[in-house]
Chain A
Amino acid sequence: MNNKNLSFIIPIIIIILILIGNPFYIVEEGKQAIITQFGQPIGNPITLSGLHLKIPFIQKITYFEKRILEWDGYPSEIPTKDKRYIWIDTTARWKIVDALKFFKSVANERGAHAILDGIIDAAVRDAVTAQDSFEVVRSSNRLRKLIEKEKIGQEDEFINEGVLATIKMGREKIREEIVKKAKSDLGPRYGIELIDVRIKRVNYIEKVRQNVYERMIAERKRAAEQYRSEGRGIRAEVEGKTEKELKEILSLAYKESQEIKGNADAQAAKIYADAYSKDSEFFSFLKTLETYSATVDKNTTIILTTEGEYFKYLTDISP
């Protein structure tokens, strides 16, 4: 009977205790907790995960994150040293390292965000306003070195004076400065550790962006015009070359052919002269006779007299 009673009584007591005021609490992995008694924190924060004990009814448990948490600021417009407005969006990682301080100073994550908003925004502003806009964009003088070595920029319509400026800080250094400043401003009093701040987005403000677009369009148009005129130039050049070569080829051929003909004429003249000079009288006799038969045809009327050599026998028989 005793055993039976016990096996009933013990679970019932446990159930009652659980229902009325749980003396156990669980701290999950990635979480931490502080115990409060009538609103006042008691003892050290519990950072070990697992099952823990507390005094029922009196003590209450408040949980906090132990993991790395995100902070995402509102993008802000910040004027730079060269009087350009840029639009900067930062993100940060932080965690609660001292839950007790955290609880006392900011109470919860929302409170922490408010603190971080102020501190990070100020740090970003301080760091960025002291710099020229291109310092926030580029991290090194890589492009400048490339230009100096003439590796880029020759056919690049987009390289302009902004690139030529040497960077003193650069984006990464500015970021490190922001982190340093924010960390020192934050201090240990909130129990918050700022792990890092990163520049997520940098852009021109809308109005400036339109100007940049217009500049880009103008540059492209100029480039297009350059290509077109280059095309026309090449065409003219090739046309000229064609014309020149045509003339060259044809005139050379003319020259050569005239030379050949002239040589032949000369040679022929020499052949004739050599031969005919043996008896020029006889040659003119033959040639003259030839021209007679060549010039007289059936339309020719010939009037001859009997006094000539040819018909002299017609009237006079004596030889």
Chain B
Amino acid sequence: MDFQQKSPEEIIRSLKNKFNFNNSKKTTLPLIIGILVVISILKGAFYTIQPSEVGVILRFGKVVKTTSPGLHFKLPFGIEKAIPVPVEKVYTSEFGFRTRTSGVKSVYSQKSYDDESLMLTGDLNVLDLEWIVQFKIQDPFMALFNVRNVDKTIRDISESVLRRIVGNHAFNEVLTTKRIDINNQAQKEMQDILDSYEIGIQIVKLKLQDVNPPEQVKPAFNEVNQAKQEREKLKNQAWEVYNQKIPQAKGEALKRVKEAEGYALEKINIAQGDTKRFLLLYAEYAQAKEITLRRLYLEKMQDTLTHAGKKYILDPKEKGILPLLKLENEQ
């Protein structure tokens, strides 16, 4: 550890003193070699651990300690080895698809991963599932030294677990209502299995992405959706007509009733008016029947004859006049 306190120059100077080197031209070459050796030693003696990492230090292949972020010293010449382990980083494994370049507009691989994504549902139908698993290293020692191929193990277990769970659900459940349940159940089951391997990995999230019927079945699926739309359309159209006609008819019905009521009022009022008039007249008539009759008759005759077009007055004693009359029957 003394190395750390001395600057390279001091070390070189002390070496020079030890081996009695002087500044003669003969010693220039060994000096340069010496400096290079020291630099290479120093290079192998320091390492940096990034803020999101933990350093696992092996001495002769045996884990001796872990170090926190920062610049550290280790024994050179391969005696100590530092393995930086990103413990904060969240890794994402994709199933059924691959992101080629992620970003605002991610590009996905066009290749099909049918073998990975096609699975059987409990009702023996085939479903095309895409999902992701996010995980991080919880225990660097376990992750490094308990399981050889951590990524592959996570992938295998994820596929196995998700298929088992989907196999226990109905096609429509996976497609619609049970997605969240499946996410949670699969995540928990995966974690349990991985824990049994002491793999030192924490599953952060398991999430179903696209859940689709297989490509070949899709058009038929869309047809169903279309048919559903169509059903709604027909229903709506019919109700539209209903909503158009019924209120109008109700209005018309009301109009009809009101008209009838009007008719009734009119009829009764007329009757009352007519009879009132009659009764008033009758009261007078009863007092002087003969004279009133005659007066009424004459008045009416006058009125009637005034309005008549042509009037002929014949004396029945004078015969022969009738044929002379040219009676025009008009229209």
Contact = CB atoms under 8 A, between A and B. Distances in A.
Interface in B167-204: 167-173, 193, 196-197, 199
Contact of B312 (A65, A217, A302): A302
B157 interface: yes
Interface in A277-313: 278-279, 282-283, 285-286, 289-290, 292-293, 296-307, 309-311
B242 interface: yes
Nearest to B144: A30
A216 to B, nearest CB: 5
Nearest to B61: A28
Nearest to A294: B304
A200 interface: yes
A303 B312 contact: yes
Nearest to B225: A224
Contacts of A168: none
A293 B254 contact: no
Contact of A249 (B196, B253, B308): B253
A28 B60 CA distance: 7
Contact of A159 (B144, B170, B304, B330): B170
B153 to A, nearest CB: 6
Contacts of B60: 26, 49-51
Interface stretch (A100-108, A122-130, A183-191, A234-242): A234-242
Contacts of A69: 148-149
A220 B223 contact: yes
A250 B313 contact: no
B220 interface: yes
A307 B309 CA distance: 21
B234 A232 contact: yes
B123 A227 contact: no
Given A70-B152, A268-B268, A228 B275 contact: no
A221 B220 contact: yes
B102 to A, nearest CB: 27
A299 B172 contact: no
A259 B257 CA distance: 10
B230 to A, nearest CB: 5
Contacts of B309: 297-301
A54 interface: no
A65 B231 contact: no
Contacts of B152: 70, 72
A199 B115 contact: no
Interface residues of A, number: 122
A27 B319 CA distance: 164
Given A224-B224, A241-B242, A306 B315 contact: yes
Contacts of A13: none
B10 interface: no
B46 interface: no
Contacts of A72: 152, 156
Interface SS of A by simple majority: helix
A91 interface: yes
Interface in B234-266: 234-235, 237-239, 241-242, 245-246, 249-250, 252-254, 256-257, 259-261, 263-265
A162 B124 contact: yes
A67 B123 contact: no
Contacts of B252: 249-250, 253
Nearest to B126: A212
Interface in B312-331: 312-316, 327-328, 330-331
A202 B58 CA distance: 42
Contacts of A226: 227
Interface stretch (B27-35, B37-45, B47-55, B277-285): B277-285
A228 B239 contact: no
A43 to B, nearest CB: 19
B239 A238 contact: yes
A217 B230 CA distance: 19
Contact of A228 (B157, B231, B301, B303): B231
Contact of B216 (A217, A238, A290): A217
Contacts of A139: 164, 167-168
B227 A228 contact: yes
A83 interface: no
A303 B235 CA distance: 75
Given A162-B124, A171-B164, A201 B235 contact: no
A242 B242 contact: yes
A278 B276 CA distance: 12
A150 interface: no
A26 B249 CA distance: 99
Contacts of B256: 250, 253-254, 256-257
A181 B300 CA distance: 129
14 contacts: A93-B153, A163-B170, A201-B119, A202-B167, A203-B119, A203-B126, A204-B120, A239-B238, A242-B241, A256-B260, A268-B268, A293-B307, A304-B312, A305-B313
Interface of B: 58-63, 115, 118-126, 144-149, 152-153, 156-157, 159-160, 163-164, 167-173, 193, 196-197, 199, 213-214, 216-217, 220-221, 223-224, 226-228, 230-235, 237-239, 241-242, 245-246, 249-250, 252-254, 256-257, 259-261, 263-265, 267-268, 270-272, 274-276, 278-279, 281-282, 285-286, 293, 296-298, 300-301, 303-305, 307-316, 327-328, 330-331
What 5 A-B pairs come out closest when comparing CB atoms? A264-B264, A257-B260, A253-B253, A231-B231, A275-B275
